[in-house]
Amino acid sequence: MINEQNKVLLKTDAMSKCKTIGIKVILLMLLLLMGNTSTIKAQGLALKSNILYDATTTPNAAIEVRLSNKWTAGINVALNPWSFSDNKKLKHLLVAPQLRYWLCESFSGHYFGANIAYVHYNVSDIKFPFGLYSGVDGERRQGDLAAIGASYGYSWILSPHWSLEAEAGLDLGYTWSDRYDYPKCGTYRGSDNKFLVLPKLALNIVYIIK
């Protein structure tokens, strides 16, 4: 019994350290992006929102900075605080820095992206499309996810300040969570830790400040 308790404590401590390191990395990237306002204004800035993400009742926003003619860096933030009827919920906080390489010119045409992401979530009885994350259907899971991924996208210039982006990619993530029965205040059913392959789709409305 003591050995089992020690294993749980060591596992919890390792997860806590991993979570802390991930948050520090994300905060550092955010500070680097936002630390010099005058440089950002001189280089160019884009504000955006993923309308596919909005459709899941998740408000989201991103900021992207031109680093050079072909490189940009940005950070995406999303927050879903809602609970629905019968204790259904898709509550989560997402923070995801991204680096992009543009084949022609920043904010225009084809690009490749690399990102890291951290998600804290509390999801209950949600049925995802195409059978994704089927374990969440019929129970509640609360935990964290860290991921790294790559993507490809294209940006269409609509006007001097507006553009439309389409992006698709895959993330490799590791999640650690606690499982509960679906009803409110449901019985604890243990923990679940595993790797996941996460598809990523975005249709971004972009406002460019030059």
Strands 109-124 and 60-66: unpaired
The strand pairing partners of 85, in sequence order, are none
DSSP code of 130?
G
pLDDT tens sequence across 23-68: 555 555 555 545 544 444 445 899 999 999 999 999 999 999 999 9
Q: Which residue's structure tokens are 């509960």?
A: 180
Number of Cβ atoms within 10 Å of the Cβ of 197: 11
pLDDT tens sequence across 172-188: 999 999 988 877 777 88
- C-alpha 155/C-alpha 203 separation (Å) is 10
- C-alpha 187/C-alpha 35 separation (Å) is 46
Provide the token pair at 125.
């009885």
What's the CATH architecture for 2-209? Beta Barrel (2.40)
Domain ranges of the chain: 2-209
